[in-house]
Amino acid sequence: MTIAFRPDPPVDAPKIVALVQQNKHIKLAGNDKLKIERALPDVKHRVQMLRDVLRQLGPPVAQDRAAV
């Protein structure tokens, strides 16, 4: 699976780094993607894995729209 982030994503960068360091099956794929390399038996398990990864990244970080 690959998770692609939009430009200037509302995700805390240190959480991404910690996620990659703590999970050998998750790797950075360029500046804007995470690649999850794990064999899972079916769609149900893949969706659950995706939910778990997103949950570990936490809720979106509030961005200052005035700075744009």
* pLDDT value at 43 more than 80: yes
pLDDT (tens digit per residue) in 18-30: 999 999 999 999 8
Q: Within the chain, where are the H helices?
A: 13-22, 43-57
* pLDDT value at 31 more than 90: no
pLDDT the model gives residue 63: 64
- How far apart CA 3 and CA 23 sit, in angstroms, is 15
What is this structure's pTM? 0.74
What is the rounded average pLDDT of the residues 7-23?
A: 90
Contact 54, 62 (CB under 8 A): no
What is the rounded average pLDDT of the residues 4-15?
A: 88
